[in-house]
Structure 1
Amino acid sequence: MTARTDADRPAQPSRPRRVRRRRHLLPRANRTLVLLVALTVLITLVVLAWPGTAPMTTLMIPLLLGSLLLGPRQLPWFVVFVMVMLMLAIARQPELDARIVLAITILYALCFIVLTTSFRRSRLGVAGVQGESMLVDLRDRILSQGGIPPLPSGWLVEGALRSAGGTPFAGDFVVAVVPRDSDRLQIVVVDVSGKGEQAGTRALLLSGAFGGLLGALEPAEFLPAANEYLLNQRWDEGFATAIHLSLDLESGDFEVRAAGHPPAAQLDAGSGRWSVHEAEGPVLGLIEDAEFTTVSGVLRPGDAMMLYTDGMVETPKRDIGLGIDRMLGQAERLLRGDFEGGADRLVDALGSHNDDRALVLVHRR
């Protein structure tokens, strides 16, 4: 019989590996539920031990944490558990005067509100904090679509976006791309039907789709493809206006096409005057086989161009033509000799705060 050496013995899993295995067996959501149940039991024991000192309202701490951290499947059961613990605490109270009865009523009302919220949250399928992080991620994705890609040193392109009421979600968005192996900048400014949060979800979907179309298609094909995409969505309010700029970064040659959108405005550095380019085309998502006219031109050194949404120039008490004249007047004043930060200055100075506003400023230095 030979003695077994340490080398012959089977290797034992390391402690960190065993810990990770246990954590894998108990998902994070279940660990959170266990911790909240333990906290609730602990608070209940304290209330039962010192009913005249420890208030029953302390049970709202785990209830609030549960509403933030638990998913829609676990939260209803946890709320019922808190209500049972609350019943135990009530039975231990020395006397039930009007003040305590009112407090009990409020506590059960809060439990009912959290329970109702959990049923509504089941449509999304995530916990409160996780759902909020998802919305933040969606907002960041919309904003990142409007990021300006790296450009040659002779160009300055800025974008600014403000939503109705100051919320992070807007129905206006900007997409800008420079396709690989190309010296042509493609920018589209879109105004989705609706405002703020109401249009934010549609803006998210369209910004991703338009970004893919913009980098894959020839400039003349973009608006017809975007129109077909919107028609296929079959939304009740599935329309949008858009303006598309295709700019050659070497020569300065550009093409502008619009779909029911306010016209682009160009600054002629030689004369110091702004002019508008009226490109005609129907609103996206309403007419099949729509056609869009093209306005061509050149941006020479010192010239600039603005693309914007109707929130910049339109108000209930003012015609859009007068709004464009006012915007161009502000542009002459605010951009005189200094285009850096000009997009933000114009958006802050113009338009209605009750409407989404977006503006892109292109300047050839």
Structure 2
Amino acid sequence: MTVAAPSGPRRTRQARPGSPRTVRGPGPRARGAARSARRALRRVVRGPRNSPRARQISTTLVLAALAVLAALGIALLPAWVPSSVVLLVLLMGVFVLRAWAMTTLGVVVLGLVLTLELLDEEAFSPARYAVILLAVVLGVAFVRSRERLGLQGATSDLMLVDLRDRLVAHGRIPDLPEGWGVDSVVRSAYAEAFSGDFVVASHAPGSPLLEIVLVDVSGKGQEAGVRSLLLSGAFGGLLGAMPRDAFLPAANRYLLAQRWPEGFATAIHLAVRLDTGQFWVSTAGHPPAVHLHAGSGVIETVETPGGPALGVVVAPVFAVHEGVIQPGDTLMLYTDGLVESPGHDVELGIDRLMGEAERVVATRSGGADAVVAGVRAGEGDDRALILVHRT
């Protein structure tokens, strides 16, 4: 049963005189507008504070304040604070500032030094001011060159270290089963950080096949470092991901696609079955491998009709030499930096390397480092050597 509400005029309650009046808050639309305004204000306040430009401005202000303190120390305590202290402020700026911020700091430092020189005309030294001016110019030029490379701050050098470590990691030989060993050494020209020679190895867990590629990129040292890094990553992805006889053609196609003015490279590809000792060697414009036979004591070059260097011919043919590494044998791969020297025949260099390998490896008196040291190849070229042993 539904009861109808009584009809009639609706009563409204009026506030009594002297009683507190209820004040309604803002509506939903007003509250939303207030929240939006607060968020916008928060972005305005926090955003620039965390932006790279704001950090550069704050760092520049801190260094400028240090320069002012150094100038005050030079003016008030000349016996304790030398004028060269401003060079330390400039040095800190070189490590942490960008080009525009470093220029600003340099102008501040030069202004402070000039002011000090003019205040003390008796001790005015144009040579001292010229030295500080030269330091500012060199600092700005260094920061500009680093910024042109996309590097910033002192920690940017860690990126180059990481790149070098990755290049070395690509050539790290994976763990091998008992009875096998690989010894390798790569030395760059003039002991630079990057080398045009690099090694890439692949051995999938559970697979009996070990593949090693030794590559010599055109150029040397830092000139070939960028190309070596790029090719080592690409070749590392190709190696083991395709049949062994398809690696060098795929590497050649990749190198041609780069369209480098000096983009050729020589390479030698070795594939070994670790269960039987059977191996396959292919070369692309590279010196031949050397086989040391433990049973007969014979040391010989692995004669393979080598194909052209990578990145030169569109559809080259790479011949394959097949053999067997018997227990006690050693297979040696190397780059031309160990056998080439100005004014001498390459064959003589290979004979010298074979003689040193026979002396060191056959007598088990050393490894790859001892062979490279015994050859005494010049430091003007990159050098690499790999020894594959079967015990």
TM-score range, shorter chain: 0.7 to 0.9
Partner letter of residue 212 of structure 2?
Answer: I
Q: Establish whether residue 206 from structure 1 lines up as the match of residue 231 from structure 2.
A: yes
CA–CA separation in structure 2 for the residues paired with 1:33 and 1:182: 58
Q: How big is the shift at 1:135?
A: 1.7
CA–CA separation in structure 2 for the residues paired with 1:52 and 1:321: 70
Q: Which residue of 1 aligns with 2:388?
A: 362
Relative to structure 1, is the Cα distance of residues 73 and 273 closer, same or farther in structure 2, using a 3 angstrom cutoff? farther
Q: Contact 2:294–2:362 (CA<8 Å) still a contact in 1?
A: no
Q: Identify which range, 279-288 or 126-135, moves more after superposition.
A: 126-135
Q: Aligned ranges for residues 282-297 of structure 1 at < 5 Å? A: 282-297=308-323
TM-score normalised by structure 1 residue count: 0.88
1:78 to 105, 108, 112: 105
Higher normalized contact order (CA 8 Å, seq sep 6+, divided by chain length): 1
Q: How big is the shift at 1:349?
A: 1.9
Q: Aligned ranges for residues 1-365 of structure 1 at < 5 Å? A: 25=50, 32-50=59-77, 54-97=81-124, 100-127=125-152, 129-279=154-304, 280-338=306-364, 341-350=366-375, 351-365=377-391
Unaligned runs of 5+ in 1: 1-20
Partner letter of residue 313 of structure 2?
Answer: I
Bigger CA radius of gyration: 2
CA–CA separation in structure 1 for the residues paired with 2:100 and 2:323: 59
Partner letter of residue 148 of structure 1?
Answer: I
CA–CA separation in structure 2 for the residues paired with 1:30 and 1:246: 57
Q: How big is the shift at 1:38?
A: 2.8
CA–CA separation in structure 2 for the residues paired with 1:226 and 1:72: 41
3-state SS, counterpart of residue 308 of structure 2: coil
Unaligned runs of 5+ in 2: 1-45
3-state SS, counterpart of residue 295 of structure 2: coil
Deviations 1:75-95 (A, max 9, x none): 222222222222232233242
CA–CA separation in structure 2 for the residues paired with 1:142 and 1:352: 23
CA–CA separation in structure 2 for the residues paired with 1:302 and 1:261: 26
Deviations 1:158-186 (A, max 9, x none): 11011111112110111111135422111
Q: Contact 1:159–1:359 (CA<8 Å) still a contact in 2?
A: yes
Q: Identify which range, 179-188 or 100-109, moves more after superposition.
A: 179-188
Identity, % of aligned pairs?
Answer: 46
Q: How big is the shift at 1:147?
A: 0.6
Partner letter of residue 216 of structure 2?
Answer: D
Partner letter of residue 56 of structure 1?
Answer: S
Q: Contact 1:230–1:238 (CA<8 Å) still a contact in 2?
A: yes
Q: Tell me how large the CA RMSD over aligned residues is.
A: 2.2
| Aligned residue pairs, count | 342
3-state SS, counterpart of residue 296 of structure 1: strand
CA–CA separation in structure 2 for the residues paired with 1:225 and 1:249: 24
3-state SS, counterpart of residue 296 of structure 2: coil
Q: How big is the shift at 1:70?
A: 2.1
Q: How big is the shift at 1:34?
A: 4.3
CA–CA separation in structure 2 for the residues paired with 1:326 and 1:231: 34
CA–CA separation in structure 1 for the residues paired with 2:215 and 2:221: 14
CA–CA separation in structure 2 for the residues paired with 1:89 and 1:246: 72
CA–CA separation in structure 2 for the residues paired with 1:144 and 1:160: 13
Partner letter of residue 298 of structure 2?
Answer: R
Partner letter of residue 331 of structure 1?
Answer: A
Q: Which residue of 1 aligns with 2:23?
A: none
CA–CA separation in structure 1 for the residues paired with 2:193 and 2:209: 30
Q: Identify which range, 210-219 or 36-45, moves more after superposition.
A: 36-45
